[in-house]
Amino acid sequence: MSKAQPQGPRTIVITGAARGIGLATATILAGRGHRVVMSDIDGDLASEEASALGERASGYGLDVTDRDAFREHLQMVEGEFGPIDVLVNNAGIASASVNILDQDPAITDRTIEINLKGVMNGTIEAIRLMEPRGRGQIVNVASLAGVMGVPGLAAYAASKFGVVGFTESVRSEFTDKGLSFTCVMPGPVSTGMMDGTSSSPIVSMLTPKEMAAGIVAAVESGRPRVALPRSSYLLARLTSILPPAFGIRLGRWTKIDRIYTHIDPAARAAYEERIRR
């Protein structure tokens, strides 16, 4: 059951908010009168986008892999804007490769550092601030690749399975302390992360705005899980309980197995280069 959420404007920190789903989420939340802190490794772009959203939004540089920097960032936000009501751990990267041996080991490590350890850093430091107050919400953005294996995204799936397991676990640990936890599991969303990938006839691509609307609804209701599109979530859950040989056949039949293994390198080059920077 969702916990009752406080009414009125809240202070919400969103990581990876300079682009994509994070930016779309910040845009809707600022438009609904919340105070939005947009944190991104690309601090200049976060500040620029925040300025465009008006006085309810502010942009800052933050590398979520740096635990001390994350703690100081959250403390700075509280000093500036008061208690943080919601932290959305959204920053993430996805590098596609034919298989895990084909992936640069440095990017494999970075995937775990950002997508899993970055989410853990933020969650732990936010719990430290929220627990004494007995209120607060942490929204962790995982993926449908956090409930089913995806060829071409092995390290990414490992990081996202980690986010799902971590979020479900801390929810149980702090359920009686007034804190709420939301695990977000998006299917493909049309951001830079999907550049140059293939498509499957049965998987629809959401816009960042559609995905953000689901996250905003969870922020305002305290819903514990958001999985969109619903049909893809059910397919992912089904795949995860089928015997593996069936799951692999289903992936081939639906062409889901090609989404991240049959890449247009030219169309993907800018994204892959950006996440290596």
Ligand X SMILES: NC(=O)c1ccc[n+]([C@@H]2O[C@H](COP(=O)([O-])OP(=O)(O)OC[C@H]3O[C@@H](n4cnc5c(N)ncnc54)[C@H](O)[C@@H]3O)[C@@H](O)[C@H]2O)c1
Q: Which residues are catalytic?
A: 156
- Residues 116-135, one symbol each (x = binds ligand X by CB under 6 A, - = not), give --x-----------------
Residue 19 touching ligand X (CB under 6 A): yes
Residue 22 touching ligand X (CB under 6 A): yes
Query: Which CB atom, from 136 or from 186, has the smaller least distance to ligand X?
Result: 186
DSSP string, 126-141: HHHHHGGGT-EEEEEE
Tell the smallest beta-carbon distance from residue 183 to ligand X (Å): 11
* Helix or strand holding residue 39 (H, E): strand 35-40
Helices (H) then strands (E): counts for the chain: 10, 7
Interacting residues with ligand X between 194 and 213 (CB under 6 A): 194
Residue 141 touching ligand X (CB under 6 A): yes
Contact call for residues 117 and 92 (beta carbons, < 8 A): no
Residue 59 touching ligand X (CB under 6 A): no
Task: Quote the strand ranges of 82-204, DSSP E.
Answer: 86-89, 136-141, 179-186
Residue 263 touching ligand X (CB under 6 A): no
* Helix or strand holding residue 40 (H, E): strand 35-40
Q: How many residues bind ligand X (CB under 6 A)?
A: 30
Q: For residue 146, how many other CB atoms are within 10 A of its CB?
A: 27
Tell the smallest beta-carbon distance from residue 234 to ligand X (Å): 16
- Look at residues 203, 208, 183 and name the one whose alpha carbon lies nearest to residue 193: 208
Q: What residues make contact with ligand X under the rule CB under 6 A? A: 15-16, 18-22, 40-42, 62-65, 90-94, 114, 118, 141, 143, 186, 188-189, 191-194
